[in-house]
Structure 1
């Protein structure tokens, strides 16, 4: 099916909206990093929770950079962010968490890590082909 003028106009419009949202996320993340650094500076101490929060922001920026550079987003990046977020929650709330919730959080981190390993194995063992002409040339 060939795209008509309306389809092309909508694609262009959605592309502009997408770029605007990505730029907004980038600026918001940079602002949040400055807020976190200011909080650390004013507190006069760095905690593990602060470091994990900065790693969360770093992963978000890395995900944005990869998406802007390639136009695609590997599913691994949100999984990395999920692991860091769960680890941060676990570290910050360790005093108030009961044994079952701690077990569930640890199990969740483990399951996400296994999912990342499976996805990485799948990408290495069964790589993606960008277009059908490359697939016929590889055979």
Structure 2
């Protein structure tokens, strides 16, 4: 099916919106990093939670960079961010958490890590093909 002029206009509009949102995410991430560094500087001490927060920002920037260069986003990046976010939550609130909540958070981290392994195995065992291979086999 060939796209008509309306779908091309819509596609162009969505592409522009996508680029604007990516710029906003980049600026917000840089602002967050600067804010976290200023907080560390003001307190004159570095906590594990601060480092994990900086790693979260680093993963977001890495995800953004990969998306801008490749045009697609591997599912692993949000999973990495999820692990770091859960670990940060666990580290920061360990005193207030009951045993069941700690067990659930730890189990969630384990499940996400297993999901990353499954995705990585799938990419190695069943690599992607571009659409031309499928098209030539069906013709």
TM-score > 0.5, shorter chain as reference: yes
* Contact 1:86–1:105 (CA under 8 A) maintained in structure 2: yes
In structure 2, what is the equivalent of residue 3 of structure 1? 3
Matching residue of 2:102: 102
Aligned equivalents of 1:55 and 1:118: distance in 2? 23
Point out where structure 1 has 5 or more consecutive residues left out of the alignment: none
3-state SS, counterpart of residue 94 of structure 2: coil
Distance 2:136 2:58 in 1: 39
| Structure 2: distance between partners of 1:50 and 1:5 | 50
- State the shift of 1:89 in Å: 0.1
Which residue is equivalent to 2:37? 37
Give 1:63 shift.
Answer: 0.3
Paired position in structure 2 for 1:54: 54
> How many Å separate the matches in 1 of 2:18 and 2:10?
12
RMSD: 1.4
Q: Aligned partners of 1:52, 1:100: CA distance in 2, in Å?
A: 23
Cα distance, 1:133 vs structure 2: 3.5
Question: Equivalent residue for 1:113?
Answer: 113
Moved over 4 A (4+): 134-137
5+ unaligned residues in a row in structure 2: which ranges?
Answer: none
State the TM-score, normalizing by the size of structure 1: 0.95
